Amino acid sequence: MKILVIGGGGREHALVWRLKQSASVEKIWCAPGNDGIAREATCIPLDLKSPVAAADLAANLGADLTIIGPELPLVLGVADEFASRGLALLGPAKSAARLEGSKIFAKRFLERHGIPTAVIYDIINKGQLFSASRAAPWPRVIKADGLCAGKGVLVTDSERQARAFIERLFDGKEFGDAGKQVLVEEALQGEELSYIILTDGEHFIPMAPARDHKRAYDNDQGPNTGGMGAYSTDSILPPALETEIVAKIVRPTLEGLRVEGIPYRGFLYFGLMLTAEGPKVLEYNCRLGDPETEAVLPRADFDFAEACRLAAVGTLAGFQANWRHGASVCVVIASEGYPVNPKMGAEIRGLEDAERVPGAVVFHAGTKREGSTFRTSGGRVLILSA
């Protein structure tokens, strides 16, 4: 099987690394990839905003399967473009990717299907006023409706902060159309869990459970980021909890999609809060998590490429996914100043030493090669997994 992976961060590096270990895989390309991925797969430039360019590339290469890493191409309809040309792709259609692309759509979907989630206090359209006088308690969570790369959510107990954040969302400079509508909801308390499934729309296999770490600094301090690290171990998901998550959240979601005529093939990420009242959905993502993937895939003990192929063609029934026992962890090495104003261009030393540590894998996210030297070229630079 010849596979094209779309994306160019640490998650896509982990995908390429795992896929290469499948006996059924003869060739892997990554578009656009990055200079670290280029050591393992042929990287090809690609504008992630163009579904047509992605489909042209897959067709020209003769890829048997295309796997989409990031949300943007999915929200823009890359799966629909591939389907219209009869090209095999793993990832949901535009109509289904709205579960991630619009938090208000996701919230309404959760409500329609009786799936546990935080209570909505308000939906505010640009130009409307934020009515802090409502009886709802603080802290509250303020969310931009659209895609904001992890920066569109504020949990606050300060009315002043809430107002200032909503003004920033509405002024359009930073968040564009993503901030045109704002959701205000209940702040849930508890520990978070990333529960990710691979589904053909009917059947699914769960990824090993993971928990990511979002604050930039040690001891849970500093701004929220796209993720500073993650770990995976079975003890964060006791069997009774998994049974409850599947019965109250996963099955009703797949059934809800089916009833609404929304086909879903791909990874579906349930961002959960484990509250005293049971698990509740914080968000859906229409893809694998980053950096959860870099922690989880090293535990995969099955033919991952075959599972992806079966999900893409709709025949995942009966597939058995085994996960290695024990624990895995990944740590993001970020540029100074991340996430607000990362400094780039610094030389990276010690890569080869890190790669020689038994059980460790180095995934590249924001690196650039100059001769034999790697330099930093993004906020999240490297992800070290073990």
Q: List residues binding ligand GLY (CB under 6 A).
A: 212, 227, 285, 289-290, 292
Residue nearest to ligand GLY (CB): 289
**DSSP β-bridge partners for residue 357:** none
The rounded distance, in Å, linking the Cα atoms of 127 and 12 is 39
Find out whether 35 and 364 touch, Cβ atoms under 8 Å. yes
By CB under 6 A, tell whether 100 contacts ligand AMP: no
By CB under 6 A, tell whether 25 contacts ligand AMP: no
The item of ligand AMP, ligand GLY, none sharing an interface with residue 227, based on CB under 5 to 8 Å by kind, is: ligand GLY
**DSSP β-bridge partners for residue 285:** 269
Residue 199 or 285 having the CB closest to ligand GLY = 285
By CB under 6 A, tell whether 153 contacts ligand AMP: yes
To ligand GLY, the closest distance from the beta carbon of 123 in angstroms equals 22
> Residue-wise over 182-210: b if at least 16 C-beta within 10 A, else e?
bbbbbebeeebbbbbbbbbbebbbbbbbb
Residue 296 to residues 115, 144, 229, 274, Cα–Cα distance (Å): 26, 29, 11, 20
Copy the structure tokens of residue 241.
Answer: 């909890």
**DSSP β-bridge partners for residue 143:** 153, 183
To ligand GLY, the closest distance from the beta carbon of 173 in angstroms equals 23
Residue 130 or 270 having the CB closest to ligand GLY = 270
Residue 266 or 289 having the CB closest to ligand GLY = 289
The rounded distance, in Å, linking the Cα atoms of 99 and 380 is 25
Copy the structure tokens of residue 35.
Answer: 């200079």
Q: Which one among 187, 321, 344, 386 touches ligand AMP, defined by CB under 6 A?
A: 187
The rounded distance, in Å, linking the Cα atoms of 382 and 35 is 12
By CB under 6 A, tell whether 88 contacts ligand AMP: no
By CB under 6 A, tell whether 141 contacts ligand AMP: yes
The rounded distance, in Å, linking the Cα atoms of 227 and 365 is 12
Stretch that binds ligand AMP, among 4-12, 24-32, 129-137, 186-194 (CB under 6 A): 186-194
Stretch that binds ligand AMP, among 22-30, 62-70, 179-187, 215-223 (CB under 6 A): 179-187
Residue 376, helix vs strand vs coil: strand
Site string for ligand AMP, 203-232 (x = CB under 6 A): -----------x------------------
To ligand GLY, the closest distance from the beta carbon of 257 in angstroms equals 20
By CB under 6 A, tell whether 118 contacts ligand AMP: yes
Query: Dihedrals φ, ψ of 215, to 5°?
Result: -80, 145
To ligand GLY, the closest distance from the beta carbon of 289 in angstroms equals 4
**DSSP β-bridge partners for residue 364:** 382
Q: Which residues from 260-289 bind ligand AMP, rule CB under 6 A?
A: 271, 282-283
Q: Which one among 12, 64, 71, 185 touches ligand AMP, defined by CB under 6 A?
A: 185
Find out whether 23 and 353 touch, Cβ atoms under 8 Å. no
